[in-house]
Amino acid sequence: MTGIKELLLSRIRDVADYPTPGVMFKDITPLLADPAAFAALTDALADLSVRSGATKIVGLEARGFILGAPAALRAGVGFIPVRKAGKLPGATLSQAYDLEYGSAEIEVHAEDLAAGDRVMVIDDVLATGGTAEASLRLIRRAGAEVAGVAVLMELGFLGGRERLVPALDGAPLEALLTV
């Protein structure tokens, strides 16, 4: 394990039975409160985005905003928020999906993505892969190309990678940590 992985892992807190019984919640707030860990994470995500040739970064609400926005600034590309339904004021594309603990619908401003864009999706956790998969559908429906998905942490036992890899169609799934 490299130094950065140890640092990031040490700043993620396990919270049992949150938000529902049986879920082990991975809380990234201690990592965000540590500027050295947050900077190392931002640099790693930005580096993956630059290497993938991404021209835009999509962040998935809400924790994907916290990680994706500084990574976009660092990478020198635009940041596009994919939000839970009903939060964006303009014309949107919508996609429904299932979560580890519920179901939801995400949206993007239709005008934010177009043919010629190459998009890296950033989020904190890959669990079942439902959120990320839905975001890939939105990106492609907008006419843009998927550069990859980059997450801080993959929960391997939930099978998100197996779900997402076919949907990625050859683009990389990068997880800085796997548990």
Ligand X SMILES: O=P(O)(O)OC[C@H]1O[C@H](OP(=O)(O)OP(=O)(O)O)[C@H](O)[C@@H]1O
Supply the residues annotated as catalytic: 63, 100
**Residue carrying structure tokens 């985005």:** 49
106/147 with CB nearer ligand X: 106
Task: List strand residue ranges (DSSP E) for 36-171, in order.
Answer: 56-60, 78-84, 92-99, 102-109, 118-126, 145-154
CB of 137 to ligand X, least distance (A): 13
Q: Nearest-CA neighbor of 107 among 123, 96, 122?
A: 96
Per rule CB under 6 A, is residue 81 in the interface with ligand X? Answer: no
What residues have CB less than 8 Å from 143, skipping those under 6 apart? 113, 114, 115, 117
> At 76, is the secondary structure helix, strand, or coil?
coil
* Phi, psi dihedral angles at 142 (to 5 degrees): -80, -5
Give the one residue of 15, 99, 157, 169 binding ligand X; rule: CB under 6 A.
99
**Span from 4-12, 43-51, 55-63, 109-117 in contact with ligand X (CB under 6 A):** 55-63
CB of 160 to ligand X, least distance (A): 5
CB of 98 to ligand X, least distance (A): 7
The residues of the shown chain that bind ligand ADE, judged by CB under 6 A, are 23-26, 100, 125, 127, 155
Residue 159: half-sphere exposure toward Cβ, Cα within 13 Å:
3
Give the one residue of 71, 80, 108, 126 binding ligand X; rule: CB under 6 A.
126
Task: Tell me which residues touch ligand X (CB under 6 A).
Answer: 60-64, 99-100, 104, 123-132, 160
